Amino acid sequence: MKETLSTLGIHFEIQKIDIKREDLAYVTIKRDRLLSALFYMKQNLGMKHFVLLSAVDFIEDNKFQLTYHVNNPEKKFIIALRVEIDREKATMESAHAAWPTVATYQREIKELYGIDFPGSPRVNEELILEGWDSTPPFRREFDTLKYSEDTFFPRPGRFKEDPKTYMKKQMYGEWKKEEKNV
């Protein structure tokens, strides 16, 4: 994997490398270099399998982070390319030309985060949230409590119990109480 990272660094401006394990590394690159890096890795570095596309919402910094996980099945390691995009202009070029399967992940991320991938197949079709017309639910400004209160009926009978007391009851039942009375 180190040789692959070194070669990647020669051809693309790497901002940061975070090696998590001997078979997993996260590489942060500039957003405008992502697609060429993905194509290069597939064609020249043995990264034949697209594993996952994920998103993280850094609302405090007004940005999203997209992470593209690709795998070299022969050498058995994963390199994840990270890019940051602006929350206000949440768009990213589609990587479906490199890996057609990425289109499904892009549809999901558009629906859940509101990040657009222009040109991606079927990106504007509903995938999970049929009829959803509110703030995308994985954006951090989405108020899950308010949504739950507005959408679902209240459920009475909720209470909190001390975990230590609860476990004593579960483990010993009434036996522990009877022992104290003797």
Using left for φ > 0, alpha for ψ between -120 and 50, and beta otherwise, residue 71 falls in beta
Q: Using an 8 Å Cβ cutoff, are 92 and 117 in contact?
A: yes
Sheet holding 49-58: strands in order across?
A: 14-21, 24-29, 77-86, 63-72, 49-58
CA–CA gap between residue 153 and residue 93 (Å, rounded): 41
- pLDDT value at residue 79: 96
CA–CA gap between residue 49 and residue 46 (Å, rounded): 9
Q: Using an 8 Å Cβ cutoff, are 110 and 123 in contact?
A: yes
Nearest to 96 by CA among 61, 68, 62: 68
Beta strands 77-86; 24-29: pairing state: parallel
CA–CA gap between residue 138 and residue 148 (Å, rounded): 14
Q: Using an 8 Å Cβ cutoff, are 95 and 113 in contact?
A: no
- pLDDT value at residue 177: 53
Q: In order of start, what are the domains of the chain with their CATH numbers?
A: 2-156 (3.30.460.80)
Q: Which two tokens stand for residue 68?
A: 């593209």
Q: Which two tokens stand for residue 42?
A: 């597939």
- pLDDT value at residue 180: 55
- pLDDT value at residue 51: 96
* Residues near 68 by beta carbon (within 8 Å), at least 6 away in sequence: 34, 38, 50, 52, 53, 80, 81, 82, 83, 95, 102
**What value, to the nearest 5°, has the Cα angle with vertex 138 and ends 79 and 31?**
40
- pLDDT value at residue 38: 95
Print pLDDT tens along the chain (182 aa).
889 999 999 999 899 999 999 999 999 999 999 999 999 999 999 999 999 999 999 999 999 999 999 999 999 999 999 999 999 999 999 999 999 999 999 999 999 999 999 999 999 999 999 989 889 999 999 999 889 888 887 777 766 778 888 888 888 876 555 555 55
- pLDDT value at residue 72: 95
- pLDDT value at residue 84: 97
- pLDDT value at residue 1: 86
